[in-house]
Amino acid sequence: MIQSNILKAGYEAIYNNLAELGEKTELFLITSEGLCDLKDDLRSLVCLGVSDVCQLCPDKNGEKVEVGEMIFEVPARIGCMFFLTVVSRCYPQLLETAGLLIQYFKDNNVIMLEGYKCHGDSEGKIVIESVIRKPKSNWEFGVNNLPVVTLEYYVEFGINSLKGIPFKRVEKLEIKGNIIGDGKK
């Protein structure tokens, strides 16, 4: 498992959790392929997408992390913006689906990623944070003139360097010597 796949693993974990929620509540279907027609299904459609990925701070700062018998640079801190676009047949259904998603991430904002631990982090978890902003006016309808709303979430990841420098721990040595004189003049 390549640790740099943590972005993909985080996306897939969020997608799978939402697919399970949609099945359990029978309120929405989830897609990662963009918005399309609702067809004959009476449920809402939720599209999980990524709007931005960026590095948050310089990682060539001289800081090092010890992992086993290797020294690595600190992981690159990556910020990722996820969005959930909800399309429904009517506003009550749209608002019910949006409310369910908001409540879900309020109660389940930590996802464990098995096998994806960045250097210096022993937990392997990601924390999903909602993007705080004021609502903006959006009078346009979305797909086929149906109501649409988008929720935004923020996640941080750490991506490891593969270039480690080996080192060996030094055993404590006892140094013996003779002292010449008493040190007084």
Give pLDDT tens digits for 57-116.
Answer: 877 766 777 676 777 777 788 899 999 999 988 899 999 999 999 999 999 999 888 877
With beta carbons less than 8 A apart as the criterion, state whether 2 and 118 touch. no
Let me know if 87 is exposed, middle or buried by CB neighbors in 10 A (0-12, 13-18, 19+). Answer: buried
CATH for 28: 3.30.2000.10
Question: Considering the domain boundaries, does residue 180 fall inside one?
Answer: no
Residue 122 above 60 pLDDT? yes
With beta carbons less than 8 A apart as the criterion, state whether 61 and 45 touch. no
Question: Considering the domain boundaries, does residue 54 fall inside one?
Answer: yes
- How high is the mean pLDDT of the chain? 81
Per the model's pLDDT, the better-predicted residue between 157 and 165 turns out to be 157
Question: Considering the domain boundaries, does residue 116 fall inside one?
Answer: yes
Question: Considering the domain boundaries, does residue 181 fall inside one?
Answer: no
Q: What is the pLDDT of residue 185?
A: 57
Three-class DSSP category at 34: coil
Q: What is the pLDDT of residue 120?
A: 59
Residue 37 above 60 pLDDT? no
Structural domain count of the chain = 1
Question: Considering the domain boundaries, does residue 56 fall inside one?
Answer: yes
With beta carbons less than 8 A apart as the criterion, state whether 50 and 84 touch. no
Question: Considering the domain boundaries, does residue 174 fall inside one?
Answer: no
Question: Considering the domain boundaries, does residue 25 fall inside one?
Answer: yes
Query: Tokens 């990556």, residue?
Result: 78
Question: Considering the domain boundaries, does residue 171 fall inside one?
Answer: no
Q: What is the pLDDT of residue 23?
A: 93
Q: What is the pLDDT of residue 139?
A: 63
Domain hosting 46: range is 3-135+145-166
